[in-house]
């Protein structure tokens, strides 16, 4: 130790160069630090959800939950597994051991779930997600006196454009009523055609469902087959065949029922200065930089300010990056003083 100090005293150029390297390295590291208002929290939880349309909790348990448990019991770094069978699906929550690599375990779980080939045909594709902490970057309000459909469509366009920005992976839309397709059939019509509501319900379930079709093996590899039958509009529902007759004629839903595209009733809405509004939340997930994300959103807003339809306005309601920068400035001022 004494020899090193003596050497640096005798070689001031080397000591000054080392000091400069340390200062430059510290400055570069400071510039690359992510700025966050609160630290990340690793919950150590992964959830696997499988939709099983029309299934009772008992059917979901035997058809989905047990198969998931069998496939995941050999997964590494799993401390606890909790299964919940519910009407229309199953959820399996996995608690990871302390210090486990979340990304590695998540990929392992996805691989094991994708390898399951014995799910009932009525199940949808499994969804595997990890619970991660997130923080609000910015809240935007899109206001307009137009219809809910136009406001919802424009809000979704804005969300997709913001998601295209670097470093932003999560954008949520709130206070917009979800789409709803209402199907109304009178008792008189049911008696007239000799039908029941249960028959109509089963016809809709059969016609509005995506089903796996197996695997086609070729010389170049395997091709997964899937029948796309899910319908999304009132016109598509109206075209569903409810009953077929021996003479070849078909009775379609639109002939016996009133099918309407609309929005859910009784849903909370938001108003800014008395104008109907959609609230758009830009969130920070993982190691995303809150300040950099906010700057990108503001730059995007300036560039697209005049692209909004007439009568619409987009404004910033809250900007968490400003509070973060103020706190960082306070810490820096205290350090200097």
With beta carbons less than 8 A apart as the criterion, state whether 202 and 168 touch.
no
Q: What is the pLDDT of residue 69?
A: 93
Q: What is the pLDDT of residue 103?
A: 81
With beta carbons less than 8 A apart as the criterion, state whether 141 and 261 touch.
no
* Token duo for residue 76: 């590494």
**For the chain, counts of helices (H) and of strands (E):** 12, 15
Same fold flag, 42-132 and 134-178+267-331: yes
Dist. CA 47–CA 130, nearest whole Å: 6
Domain edges within the chain: 42-132, 134-178+267-331, 179-263
Architecture category of domain 42-132 in CATH = 2-Layer Sandwich (3.30)
CATH number at 134-178+267-331: 3.30.70.1320
Q: What is the pLDDT of residue 279?
A: 92
Among the four given CATH numbers 3.20.20.140, 3.90.280.10, 3.40.640.10, 3.30.2090.10, the one describing domain 179-263: 3.30.2090.10
Q: What is the pLDDT of residue 215?
A: 56
Q: What is the pLDDT of residue 142?
A: 92
What are the E-state strand segments in 219-309? 221-227, 241-244, 250-252, 258-263, 270-272, 275-285
* Token duo for residue 293: 């994300």
Q: Give the Å distances, CA to CA, from 259 to 155, 176, 184, 197, 267.
A: 26, 22, 7, 15, 21
pTM (2 d.p.): 0.60
Of the candidates 162, 182, 172, the one whose C-alpha atom is nearest the C-alpha of residue 260 is: 182
Dist. CA 210–CA 200, nearest whole Å: 19
* Token duo for residue 28: 């570069």
Each residue's pLDDT, cut to its tens digit, for the chain (337 residues) gives: 567 777 777 778 877 888 888 888 777 776 666 666 666 666 789 999 999 877 888 999 999 999 999 999 888 899 999 999 998 899 999 999 988 888 889 889 999 999 898 898 888 889 998 887 677 889 999 998 888 888 888 999 999 999 999 888 889 998 887 777 888 888 888 888 888 888 888 888 777 655 555 555 666 655 555 555 566 677 788 888 888 888 888 888 888 888 888 777 766 778 888 888 999 999 887 777 788 888 899 999 988 776 788 888 899 998 887 777 677 667 667 766 6
């Amino acid at each position: 130790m004494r020899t090193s100090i003596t050497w640096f005293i005798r070689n001031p150029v080397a000591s000054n160069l080392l000091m400069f390297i340390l200062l430059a390295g510290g400055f570069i590291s400071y510039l690359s630090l992510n700025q966050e208002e609160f630290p990340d929290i690793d919950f150590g939880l992964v959830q696997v959800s499988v939709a099983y349309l029309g299934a009772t909790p008992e059917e979901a348990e035997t058809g989905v939950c047990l198969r998931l448990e069998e496939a995941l019991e050999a997964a590494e770094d799993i401390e606890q597994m909790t299964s919940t069978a519910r009407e229309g699906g199953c959820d399996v929550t996995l608690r990871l051991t302390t210090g486990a690599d979340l990304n590695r375990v998540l990929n392992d779980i996805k691989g094991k779930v994708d390898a399951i080939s014995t799910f009932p045909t009525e199940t949808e594709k499994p969804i595997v997600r990890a619970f991660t902490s997130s923080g609000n970057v910015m809240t935007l309000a899109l206001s307009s006196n137009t219809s809910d459909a136009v406001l919802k469509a424009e809000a979704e366009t804005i969300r997709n454009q913001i998601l295209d920005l670097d470093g932003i992976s999560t954008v949520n839309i709130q206070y917009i009523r979800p789409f709803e397709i209402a199907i109304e059939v009178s008792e008189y019509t049911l008696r007239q055609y000799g039908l029941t509501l249960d028959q109509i319900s089963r016809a809709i379930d059969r016609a509005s469902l995506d089903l796996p079709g197996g695997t086609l093996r070729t010389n170049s590899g395997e091709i997964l087959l899937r029948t796309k039958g899910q319908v999304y509009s009132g016109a598509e529902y109206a075209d569903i065949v409810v009953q077929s007759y021996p003479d070849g004629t078909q009775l379609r839903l639109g002939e016996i029922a009133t099918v309407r595209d609309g929005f859910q009733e009784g849903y909370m809405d938001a108003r800014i200065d008395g104008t109907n509004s959609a609230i758009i939340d830009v969130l920070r997930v993982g190691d995303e930089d809150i300040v950099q994300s906010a700057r990108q959103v503001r730059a995007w807003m300036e560039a697209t300010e005049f692209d909004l339809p007439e009568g619409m306005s987009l404004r910033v309601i809250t900007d968490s990056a400003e509070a973060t920068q103020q706190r960082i400035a306070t810490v820096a001022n205290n350090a200097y003083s």
